[in-house]
Chains A and B, each alone.
Chain A
Amino acid sequence: GQQVMQIPQYQHVQEGEDFTTYCNSSTTLSNIQWYKQRPGGHPVFLIQLVKSGEVKKQKRLTFQFGEAKKNSSLHITATQTTDVGTYFCAGNERGNTGKLIFGQGTTLQVKP
């Protein structure tokens, strides 16, 4: 079945450093979504990418969807302590939308 791998599992950065998490799917995706979960909280939607090669920005966050629609990345510029949490990618397999498969998540710690 479809698998979504995400690396790294953990990342500790100094405040102000950049951070990137990578997501790879075993199958071609119709779209990919990114979520953030704060400690003790529930996942909160950040963005959805649909088009091959798509790049979207939200302030200090940059999201990319690969040309083959099998990989994606989230880059945070100049991290802040408010960025702490676990970032998940989640893919809808092409032709099987509705079954969202989540990556294992990358937990980001930011040292002030």
Chain B
Amino acid sequence: KAGVTQTPRYLIKTRGQQVTLSCSPISGHRSVSWYQQTPGQGLQFLFEYFSETQRNKGNFPGRFSGRQFSNSRSEMNVSTLELGDSALYLCASSLVHYNEQFFGPGTRLTVL
């Protein structure tokens, strides 16, 4: 069974731009969560989607948004990028929301 895939793996943007990251969960997994990982803040929960509905949201500004499609693939978008948005963005999928999460390799975003 293929694992969680994330595209792109690396991204360089400049302040003020916007970015869209993509995540394909493990086949059959309907819950997709997004996390931001930085050296200073660790792993921070962004949001969780299940059956195309956002069920949980972390404490991030409205510039961070996401969506889930009917095939469970998910995208997250960050608008008006700031230098502090530079981070590793991890997507994780699970069969049901309270079970073990399978992480993708992440997208390394650098904002210049």
Q: Which A residues are closer than 8 A to B by beta carbons?
A: 1, 30-31, 33, 41-45, 48, 88, 90, 92, 96-105
Q: Which B residues are closer than 8 A to A by beta carbons?
A: 31, 33, 35, 42-45, 48, 50, 55-56, 58-59, 90, 92, 97-106
Partner of B102, one of A45, A90, A98: A45
Q: What is the count of residue pairs linking A and B with beta-carbon distances less than 8 angstroms?
A: 54
Given A98-B31, A99-B45, A100-B33, the answer on whether A31 and B98 have CB atoms closer than 8 Å is: yes
B45 CB to closest chain A CB (Å) equals 6
CA distance A98 to B94 in the complex (A): 10
Pairwise interchain contact B43-A102, C-beta atoms closer than 8 A: yes
Pairwise interchain contact A45-B100, C-beta atoms closer than 8 A: yes
Given A30-B98, A88-B43, A92-B98, the answer on whether A98 and B56 have CB atoms closer than 8 Å is: yes
A19 CB to closest chain B CB (Å) equals 19
Most buried by A among B43, B99, B104: B43
CA distance A96 to B45 in the complex (A): 13
Question: What residue of chain A has the Cβ atom nearest to residue B6's Cβ?
Answer: A42
Extra inter-chain contacts (13) besides given A42-B103, A88-B43, CB under 8 Å: A31-B98, A42-B105, A43-B43, A43-B92, A43-B101, A48-B99, A98-B31, A98-B50, A98-B98, A99-B56, A102-B42, A102-B45, A103-B42
CA distance A10 to B58 in the complex (A): 26
A100 proximity list for chain B (CB < 8 A): 33, 45, 101
CA distance A98 to B49 in the complex (A): 9
Question: What residue of chain A has the Cβ atom nearest to residue B105's Cβ?
Answer: A42
B35 CB to closest chain A CB (Å) equals 8
Question: What residue of chain B has the Cβ atom nearest to residue A47's Cβ?
Answer: B100
Q: Which 10 A-B pairs give the minimum distances between C-beta atoms?
A: A98-B97, A99-B56, A102-B43, A97-B98, A45-B100, A42-B103, A104-B42, A98-B56, A98-B48, A43-B103
Given A1-B59, A100-B33, A102-B44, the answer on whether A43 and B100 have CB atoms closer than 8 Å is: no
CA distance A44 to B33 in the complex (A): 15
